[in-house]
């Protein structure tokens, strides 16, 4: 039986610091990441891919905002997530197919535009904190808030005001059984893009909601639900560190869930950076996963790469 791995592509798999986010830049970045991913395929793994969409969904919102000036109706957050799921997955499929062809790997790649169920009663809806989209002046933010009912908060770094939405806990990956079947058959599956399209199920119907689901947590939930052996979170550093960027900085090789929780309590991992990744790793291992590996994509050719979180 082949091992099954879920791999969560980090933001730098698509867009690097200092880049403008052009189509050419993103295609090149994706292909480089897919080049590294082939190390798992060559070791016989079945692979499911999750990915982020932060910069891309922000660009889509900018495009919608510009379109309003021409009378084109702007679309809600769930629609924007669906839009970027498709466009990013298209780039991943193309990049992976090109790399596999050069390496003589014969696998099919399939994308599922994926809804992820959340609770309408999730407390995050009462206190939205996840910034999305472009920056505005205070006057613009107040005007948009009055017009749409959306909430805006000032950026702590003084860049302006941004729309904020809830980041609720993912409860269920819709169509996850299909993901599992396709992966077991040896197909590479791209799913839960951007954390999944956030939906609420009520009275037998489904509706999208203004929210952003953490992509690492959604990928971890997917890994649990399909029974993955390993969960890889790709980021821009080769390992997780404590005392990061200090004189006593220390790279972590293998740590237990208990140790990871202790480091979180000590504030060793920054929110909005490494802390959500470590929480996703803990969630995977506590719910039956063997180990989670947090590393940089270029390290995947080393079977002992990264920081490993184990039970």
Instruction: Let me know if 277 is a catalytic residue.
Output: yes
Q: What is the DSSP letter of 72?
A: P
Does residue 283 sit in helix, strand or coil?
helix
Instruction: Let me know if 215 is a catalytic residue.
Output: yes
- The Cα 59–Cα 188 span in angstroms is 27
Task: Note the helical H segments in the chain.
Answer: 23-42, 54-68, 77-103, 138-148, 176-184, 215-225, 257-265, 274-286
Instruction: Let me know if 11 is a catalytic residue.
Output: yes
Of the residues 95, 130, 196, 289, which is catalytic? Answer: 130
Of the residues 163, 180, 215, 239, which is catalytic? Answer: 215
Residue 128 tokens read as: 């939205």
Of the residues 11, 50, 54, 193, which is catalytic? Answer: 11
Of the residues 12, 29, 46, 174, which is catalytic? Answer: 12
Instruction: Let me know if 12 is a catalytic residue.
Output: yes
Alpha-carbon distances of 68 from 10, 63, 295, rounded to whole Å: 31, 9, 41
- The Cα 297–Cα 275 span in angstroms is 19
Q: In sequence order, which residues have a C-beta less than 8 Å from that of residue 43 and are 6 or more positions away?
A: 303
Of the residues 163, 180, 239, 277, which is catalytic? Answer: 277
Q: Which residues are catalytic?
A: 11-12, 130, 215, 277
């Amino acid at each position: 039986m082949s091992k099954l791995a879920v791999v969560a592509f980090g933001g730098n798999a698509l867009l690097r610091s200092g880049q403008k986010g052009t189509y050419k830049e993103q295609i090149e970045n994706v292909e480089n990441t897919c080049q590294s991913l082939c190390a798992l395929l060559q070791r016989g793994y079945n692979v499911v891919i999750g990915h982020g969409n932060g910069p891309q969904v922000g660009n889509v919102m900018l495009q919608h905002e510009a379109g309003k000036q021409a009378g084109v109706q702007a679309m809600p957050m769930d629609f924007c997530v669906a839009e970027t799921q498709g466009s990013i997955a298209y780039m991943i499929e193309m990049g992976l197919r090109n790399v596999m062809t050069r390496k003589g790997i014969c696998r099919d790649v399939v994308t599922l535009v994926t809804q992820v169920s959340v609770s309408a009663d999730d407390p995050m809806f009462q206190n939205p904190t996840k910034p999305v989209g472009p920056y505005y002046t205070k006057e613009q933010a107040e005007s948009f808030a009055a017009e749409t009912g959306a909430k805006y908060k000032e950026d702590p770094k003084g860049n302006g005001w941004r729309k904020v939405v809830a980041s609720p806990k993912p409860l269920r990956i819709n169509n996850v059984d299909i993901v599992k079947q396709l992966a077991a058959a040896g197909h590479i599956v791209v799913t839960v893009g951007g954390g999944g399209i956030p939906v609420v199920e009520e009275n037998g119907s489904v509706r999208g909601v203004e929210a952003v689901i953490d992509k690492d947590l959604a990928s971890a939930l997917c890994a649990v639900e399909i029974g993955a052996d390993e969960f890889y979170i790709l980021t821009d550093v080769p390992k997780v560190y404590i005392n990061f960027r200090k004189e006593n900085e220390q790279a972590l090789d293998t740590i237990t869930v208990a140790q990871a929780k202790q480091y979180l309590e000590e504030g060793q991992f920054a929110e909005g950076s490494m802390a959500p990744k470590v929480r996703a790793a803990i969630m995977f291992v506590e719910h039956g996963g063997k180990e989670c590996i947090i590393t940089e994509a270029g390290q995947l050719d080393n079977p002992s790469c990264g920081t490993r979180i184990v039970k």
